[in-house]
Structures are given as structure tokens and as C-alpha cells.
Structure 1
Amino acid sequence: GRLASRAPSPGLRLAALAQLARCSPDGLPGDVVPVVSGLLREMRSPPEASAPEGDEPVDPDAEQVDPEPVAAAETCRGEQVATPTLVGQLRSLSAQENAGRGAPWAADLLRTLHVGLDDRVGDRTALLADQLRSPDRRQRIDAVRMSGGLIRAWRGPYEELVALVGAQLSDPEPRLAEAASHVLEELFGLAAPAADALAARLADRPGDWVKSWPSGPPGLGSTVKALARLGDARALPALAAALEQPQVAHDLGFAVGR
């Protein structure tokens, strides 16, 4: 607990909180969400001072230290995450922060923290909402995927979270937009707050309405399926276009059945 509040760098404090969540989740502070959000903002900020002149350059031929092994942790609802050891986290975070780079363990630390929060749905939702507003696309991709796991595992008021996932559909990073569309596809009626974002992406990308594969029949794009599963009429042009294909998409019947 002391390291989580007194460590000299935000990365080390986040690592300590993640370890606390892993070993003694009841010991997490009540204000863990604003604390973690603040730490993430600090970690995204550029370092205030560069290394003093005269420091020896890093030898590219020097022996590299292997990262610490990663263990697996699982929540009571089956959400599995990687949990790097505390020693490995501290070594990696310290080295990265000293070099002025983002911490590579940040995503794993956040997953571990979510495991510890478990059924604290309000805290997890607030933390994911903050992650989905991050300027760091990698953090948002991870938050999109964790949002899907949370929504499928626990009941809760997810309207804002789903809308934030939907907002990722307009991002130019294809991996982020694809991750968001796949998560929304699996939410069925719960994806309603993202309906307008889905419709906008559908209209903007007609080439993604039907996906072709090297082998096997074509399939509907995830955006089409997500909107069709909502019973939204804006999916009809895409469904009609799929019917006109030489080979019918294998999942078209399920979508039309909605």
C-alpha cells in the first residue's frame, strides 16, 4: 500500500496498485478510479527533464535482461488476463520512464487492476470510460476489448460506455475501429447507444458490407451485423446488397431474421 501512494513515479505507483489488486483487492482505495486516471495522465505526459549530459550511451550489443514471466489470473466470471510479476513490472516501468517512453506493461497492469476490481462494476465502468477517452490508441483498443468482456459478464448501466465504444468507429486507426465493431456486434440490443455511430460507419464504408475470404463463403461485416441485430432499418441497404452477391453471405439469414 505504501508503494502505491509514495513511489516516485506514476508507473511504479500503477504497478503497485495492480499488484495490490492481484493479491489483496479489498485493500484497494475507494478512490482508485481517479487515482489510476491521474497516473495514466502523468504517464502520458512528456518527462520534465532529460537525462544529464555526460551519461553513458546505451550499448546496443549489451546483454538484454529478459522480461519477468507472466502469470495468468482469472476473475470469477472467467475474464482472463496476463499478470506480470511485480519485480518485472517495476524493472520495465522504471527503465521505460527513465528513457521518456510509454510503459509497455501499462495494458497488462490495467487488466490486472480490472481483475482485482471484479464485481465493482461502477469503478470498472468509470475506469474504462476514462481509458476510452485517452489519446493513446493502444490504450483505447485494450479498453474496447475489456469493455466487451465487462458488459457480457456483469449487469450494469452501460449506455455511456457503449457510446464511447461506438465513438471509436470513426477513428482512422483500422485496428481500433474493427475492435469496436466486433465488440458491438456481440452486444446485440445493448449496442443501441452506438446505433448512430454504426450507421455512419456503414454508410461510409460500403466496401465492408460483405467480407470475402480465401476459402469458404463470404460473410457480413461486423458493422452490418451489429446494426441488423438492433433491428435498425439503416442496415437494409447493406442486407439488400448482400442478397445481390453471386454467393450469398453465410450469415445473411441470421441477420435478416432479426
Structure 2
Amino acid sequence: MASAIGGIALWLLPCTALASEARRGQAAAQMTPGTLPLLAGLGIGIAVAVLAVIAFLQLTAKGKLANDAAQTAEEDDDESFDDPDLSGWDEEEASANEEAEYHEEHALTDYTIPMTRLLEPPAPAETAEGSEPMLCGIEGEHAGSCFRVLNRRLTIGRDPARCAILFPYEAVDISRVHCTLKYSQDTRVFVLEDKGSSNGTFLLSGERLKPGVKYELRSGERFSLSGDAHWFEVRDEGPRG
């Protein structure tokens, strides 16, 4: 009897297990239609959140790189404005440089000729006195006048800014700077030079001076300006009676 009951119990155990599995399968089958959409939505939400976190991290990294690049550019601009010649100099070197610049500046100005000196007209020709080298007018505008030639160059013409022996501005036959005359004490001769005059400078022989060429005259020799209009004579002694 006992063995029969045991056999029945052994037979019922598999049946009970099969029934339990069947019930669990039915329960799972009943839960599947409602659970799958929930699980799918939850998965999509998790994926969207992960993508959002990744995108945020990428934007943050890009922003940091941009800020670093801008800061580097600003530092480069600041360095470009630095004076490389003054960086690292001490006070003694800077003082020495300033002193050198000061001397250089004043050295140039010390040797600069003021414009007022360049534009200053020559002193008028002085009247000759006693026995000395002179230029005397024989005919024309300066007839009867004698001018000192010693230790200076006499410029003859119509330009008051450059000529010591002046002709009237209306004397158009005379150039603005007609000719020059000087006296050489070593050789005791007068040196006459035409300065490119329009109507020429002439010797007593009628020879016209070539512009820029120096001609030597002895005491008592004469020359004229513009043909026979104005005559001069050079002398190395006093006026003749």
C-alpha cells in the first residue's frame, strides 16, 4: 500500500511540474503584449539620453578648444607689440641708448646750415679806396664807380639776392646773374667768368667768353656786358685821373 501511494506520488510530481510550467508560460504570454512597448520606450529613452550626453560632451570640448585658440591669438598679438630692442634692457643700457640718440640728433643739427643763411643776399659791393684791386665802370650803368675786388668775389647782374653789383630790373639786356670777377693775390691777376648770360660777356678784342670758363685779366684790361652797352676796367692800383 505504501509502495502504491509512493508510486502515485512519483507520478504526480512530473505532472505538477508540467502544470506549473504551463501556468508560468500562460502568465508570460499574457504579460508580453503590454510589456514590450514599455521596454521599447525605455530603451529609446536611454539611447536618446546617451546621445544627448555625448553631444553635450562634444560641444563642451569644441568650446574649450575655441577659447584656448582665442587666448593663444591674444597672447601672440600682445607679444607682437613688444619692442624686442627694449626687452631685457636694464636702466644703464637704456640711458646709454638715449644719450647716443641725443648726440646723433645734435650732431646733425650742428652741421645744418640754416635756411635764413642760405637766403641771405650778398653784401653790396664796397667803394674802392686808395691803391687796391678794383673794378671800375667806364661806360653804361656804373660809369664812374669803382668797387673793391680784394678778398671777395663780385657777382654782377640783376638779381639782388645773388649779386653785389646790381643793374636795374628793367635792364633786360643784363642777365639775372651775368658774370663774376675775383682777384688772385698770388698771381696778381683778375679772374672773369661768364655765368651763362643771354647776351654775353666780351673782352676788349671782341671775343665772347664761354660760359663757365675762367679768363685771366691784367690790370688795365677791359670787358663789356651785352656787346658795347656796359664797359668795365680792372685795376690793381688807385683810380686814374
TM-score (normalizing by structure 2): 0.20
TM-score, normalised relative to structure 1: 0.19
